[in-house]
Amino acid sequence: MGELQCEVVAKHSTLEFEAVEDANAYLMEGLCCAESGTFVETIAILSRSPMTQLQDLSRVLSSAGGAVDPEEKGTYFLSTSNGMLTSRFLVGGSVRDQELLAKDVRKDSSAVYLLSTVLSLIIYITSSSALCVIEYDQEEEDWFGCDDIPSQRLHAEGKAAACFVPGSERNFYVFLQDPSRRIICYDNEWTRRVLPADARAGTPLFATVINDRVHVFYVGSKDYYLHYLVEDIDGVWVDNVMVRSAFHETLTRLTVARNGDGFLEAYILTIENVVLQTIGDARGETRELGQVDKSGYFRARMDAKRCPFVWAPTVRWHEMPRVSHRCLCW
């Protein structure tokens, strides 16, 4: 697999380290710069090679959803194949645990895993395109259905996404596409809002926090551009175009983050299992990196081998000297 390459990008400079432990030590020393009671983000690249990162990325895009374990022990991957919702817990690429969570699930639909130190919530879509939520009870050590959520149908090809609100491990937003193609937002109190978006039917959705603002990404119905909605400081959702490049093919999954140059960078999976990369800079170019084969292995095109690193994992800390690496996002 080659020698482990490790570097940390801090502000506008890049520092190289011989081992992950050295990079972690540097990041831990940076904790003294964090203001008490606030989240501080920096960027770290802890990877073996760009190709390894692209293989990890393909695994994320090919899954129905997932989450990184808060204790850094591994990663959960969700699957909705064969009409069942299952969870696999991987550590270092090896499956350590597998669990059947629900039946009567829409085949190959999206699912969302909201996981923190205080909450374990999974959102999925039933075979009748209804929203369903289950929560893990730590005392009972089992999953239970949430009965207080409203009755909500999705578009027949509609998908769901979710993320925690900035600075919280319990409050969250859930996004979905209803039968009228509208993007619907629910908060953790299950209050419903219709967002100002004209989305393509069956668009993939991706929700994340960037610059302390919740973003939800989708494909427009008229221009086929990649759009994103941002909630401003007054709670108003504003629509933006990320890339003015039309995606006419059917897209199934996407994930977005801010890259080392400060631009939004998206990785997208098509219905043909082709992995695309697009960057929201002035050029707005989209390129094909490769394809995921039936076994789940990423087969790169020649130019993908020269692809820059998949955007850096995010390192967060909050008062306590603990660093959490988020290599990839759902």
Separation CA 64–CA 85 (nearest Å): 9
Per DSSP, the residues of 55-114 read: HHHHHHHHSSEEEE-TTSS-EEEEE-GGG-EEEEEEETTEEEEEEEEESSB-TT---EEE
Reported confidence tier of residue 180, pLDDT bands at 50, 70, 90: very high
Domain boundaries, the chain: 5-321
Given a cut of 70, whether residue 8 has pLDDT beyond it is no
Other CB atoms within 10 A of residue 137 CB:
10
Separation CA 204–CA 227 (nearest Å): 11
pLDDT averaged over every residue in the chain: 80
Residue that has been written with the tokens 């003015």 in this structure: 244
Per DSSP, the residues of 130-186 read: BEEEEEEETTTTEEEE-TTSPP-B--TT--EEEEEPTT-SS-EEEEEE-TTS-EEEE
In contact, 249 and 257? CB cutoff 8 Å = no
5-42 as b/e, with b when 16 or more CB fall inside 10 Å? bbbbbeeeeeeebeeeeebbeebeebeeebeeeeeeeb
- pLDDT tens per residue, range 146-165: 988 999 999 999 999 999 99
Tell me which DSSP letter residue 284 carries.
Answer: -
Per DSSP, the residues of 114-142 read: EE-SS-EEEEEEBTTSBEEEEEEETTTTE
Separation CA 325–CA 313 (nearest Å): 6
- 3-class DSSP state of 20: helix
Residue that has been written with the tokens 């619907």 in this structure: 184
Higher per-residue pLDDT: 176 or 10: 176
Given a cut of 70, whether residue 302 has pLDDT beyond it is no
Token pair of 40 as six digits: 């501080």
In contact, 7 and 45? CB cutoff 8 Å = yes
In contact, 227 and 302? CB cutoff 8 Å = no
Token pair of 71 as six digits: 């204790």
Say what the pLDDT of residue 253 is: 95
Taking residues 39-68, report their average pLDDT.
Answer: 67
Reported confidence tier of residue 303, pLDDT bands at 50, 70, 90: low
Say what the pLDDT of residue 310 is: 54
Higher per-residue pLDDT: 11 or 268: 268
Say what the pLDDT of residue 51 is: 66
Reported confidence tier of residue 56, pLDDT bands at 50, 70, 90: confident
Say what the pLDDT of residue 296 is: 78
Say what the pLDDT of residue 281 is: 84
- According to CATH, the topology of domain 5-321 is Neuraminidase (2.120.10)
Give me the residues paired with residue 49 across strands.
none
- pLDDT tens per residue, range 218-253: 999 999 999 999 998 888 999 999 999 999 999 999
Taking residues 200-216, report their average pLDDT.
Answer: 95
